[in-house]
């Protein structure tokens, strides 16, 4: 099949490359000159393990090409995936400006029947809106169908997730479009859920919000466990082995971040409000998440006798989670801001993220922790798990470790003379 992917971010680029792997011919369309030039040269404009090799393979084999030419791309392709961003508006709802502008371009350049698929996470009812926007700006009526086909991949494991989905959701009322979509996904060994576009759109929000809810649940529970000196990791394990609950997304830490959970939970809250059925459970999920870095700072202050003023704090990790260069809504940045309010002196390190203009960022961990009163783990990067602690202790001013991701071994660190504080990691 010939497939057009509009929007070459995480979702668009990964989706396009997965289709290449399945033997399809893909065009990636984006208006950003910088992104297109990089992709044409086989270079990713973001960090995602394994993806650049796949990109370079398919660019070389000419299975994928990238362009800024909307007219030609739309005319030549009859299966079009919308993968553009849907940022958050001030009121928490999703901003559909980019989706709308893609719909309008499609309607202008549509030359024959097209199937238009929304892969971006969009509010319930967006497939219907896309249909309306296209119809409104069409001079002559050319038939088309709109399908909702949400993406569930995670940053940092995008390739694995896109190749091994738990399910594929196809939301459409058109038999022609449904047949085409099933053919496209025929080699994926997972269930295909066929439903209408609205239910499909709701599935995506409901799934992300449920996962965020699991995280906030375990984080709030961790605060109770902390007081009772219970190891929350044992609780997660014991609870997660119940197959009705499952072991995933029960890791207590500094709260969830990223480009999806914070935005999608807020968008669903907004949708519920607009329909007069507030989702109070999700409002609490947000509240707990926002409080988690504050909770952690309070633990730090307590360890230092109530005050962090002039303390030198080495923050390890800026990304919102390991294996990504994304810092959007990163709990780490939230913590750094709060540390500055507390008048602490902050030094930072991240193996991949480079914060432009961040004068206190150091390329090596040793330099970052030198003279520090405390070291804080903010991102669960593998390389922070097995550091040469004896050596680092010698470099530090005071041996305090605050493990915001519960990735370190408290017993080992304490035997080396560190004062260790995790998130209910007793």
DSSP 139: S
3-state secondary structure of 4: strand
Window contacting ligand UDX (CB under 6 A); options: 177-185, 258-266, 270-278, 348-356: 258-266
* Binding span for ligand UDX by CB under 6 A among 137-145, 163-171, 179-187, 245-253: 245-253
> Under rule CB under 6 A, which residues in 312-351 are in contact with ligand UDX?
320-321
Which of 70, 105, 126, 208 touches ligand UDX (CB under 6 A)?
208
C-alpha 422/C-alpha 334 separation (Å) is 18
Q: At what angle do helices 232-240 and 197-228 cross, to 10 degrees?
A: 140
CA distance 267 to 275: 12
Q: Could you say whether residue 251 binds ligand UDX (CB under 6 A)?
A: yes
Nearer to ligand UDX, 153 or 308 (CB): 153
Is residue 260 annotated as part of the catalytic site, yes or no? yes
Name the catalytic one among 20, 83, 260, 378. Answer: 260
By the rule CB under 6 A, 399 interacts with ligand UDX: no
Looking at 34-42, 149-157, 227-235, 341-349, which segment touches ligand UDX (CB under 6 A)? 149-157
Separation CA 236–CA 252 (nearest Å): 8
35 binds ligand UDX (CB under 6 A): no
Q: Please report whether residue 404 would count as binding ligand UDX according to CB under 6 A.
A: no
* 189 Cβ contact partners less than 8 Å away, ≥ 6 residues apart: none
CB of 402 to ligand UDX, least distance (A): 16
Q: State the Rg of the chain over Cα.
A: 24
Among 7, 123, 258, 422, binds ligand UDX (CB under 6 A): 258
Under the binding rule (CB under 6 A), the answer on residue 154 touching ligand UDX is yes
> How far from 371 is each of 284, 300, 350, 379, CA to CA, in Å?
39, 17, 18, 21
User: Do you know the residue count of the chain?
Assistant: 426
d(CA 114, CA 77): 8
Of 105 and 120, which CB lies nearer to ligand UDX in the complex structure? 120
Burial classification of residue 388, based on how many CB atoms lie within 10 Å of its CB (0-12 exposed, 13-18 middle, 19 or more buried): exposed
Binding site for ligand UDX (CB under 6 A): 151-155, 208, 211, 215, 249-251, 253, 256-258, 260-261, 320-321
């Amino acid at each position: 099949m010939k497939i057009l992917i509009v929007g070459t971010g995480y979702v668009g680029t990964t989706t396009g490359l997965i289709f290449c792997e399945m033997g399809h011919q893909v065009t990636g369309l984006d208006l950003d000159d910088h992104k297109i030039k990089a992709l044409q040269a086989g270079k990713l404009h973001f960090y995602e393990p394994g993806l650049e090799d796949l990109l370079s393979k398919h660019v070389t084999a000419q299975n994928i090409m990238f362009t800024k030419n909307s007219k030609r791309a739309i005319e030549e392709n009859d299966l079009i995936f919308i993968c553009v961003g849907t940022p958050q508006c001030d009121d928490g709802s999703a901003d559909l400006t980019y989706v709308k502008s893609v719909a309008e371009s499609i309607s202008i350049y549509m030359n024959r029947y097209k199937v238009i698929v929304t892969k971006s996470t969009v509010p319930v009812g967006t497939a219907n809106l896309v249909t309306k926007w296209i119809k409104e700006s069409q001079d002559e009526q050319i038939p088309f169908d709109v399908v909702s086909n949400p993406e569930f991949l995670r940053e940092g494991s995008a390739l694995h997730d896109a190749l091994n989905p738990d399910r594929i959701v196809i939301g459409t009322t058109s038999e022609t479009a449904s047949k085409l979509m099933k053919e496209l996904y025929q080699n994926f060994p997972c269930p295909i859920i066929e439903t209408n576009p609205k239910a499909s759109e709701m599935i995506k929000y409901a799934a992300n919000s449920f996962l965020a809810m699991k995280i906030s649940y375990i984080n709030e529970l961790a605060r109770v466990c902390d007081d009772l000196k219970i190891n929350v990791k044992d609780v997660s394990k014991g609870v997660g082995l119940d197959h009705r609950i499952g072991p995933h997304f029960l890791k207590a830490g500094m709260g969830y971040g990223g480009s999806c959970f914070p935005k999608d939970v807020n968008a669903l809250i907004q949708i519920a409000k607009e329909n007069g059925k507030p989702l109070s459970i999700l409002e609490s999920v947000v509240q707990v998440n926002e409080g988690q870095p504050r909770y952690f700072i309070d633990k730090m202050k307590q360890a230092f006798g109530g005050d962090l003023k002039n303390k030198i704090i080495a923050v390890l990790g800026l990304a919102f989670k390991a294996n990504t260069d994304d810092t959007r809504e990163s709990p780490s940045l939230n913590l750094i801001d709060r540390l500055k309010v507390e008048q602490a002196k902050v030094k930072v390190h991240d193996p991949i993220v480079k914060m432009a203009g961040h004068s206190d960022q150091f390329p090596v961990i040793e330099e970052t922790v030198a003279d520090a009163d405390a070291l804080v783990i903010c991102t669960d990067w593998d390389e922070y798990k097995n550091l040469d602690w004896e050596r680092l202790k010698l470099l530090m001013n005071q041996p305090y470790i605050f493990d915001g991701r519960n990735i370190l071994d408290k017993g080992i660190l304490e035997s080396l003379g560190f004062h260790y504080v995790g998130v209910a990691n007793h």
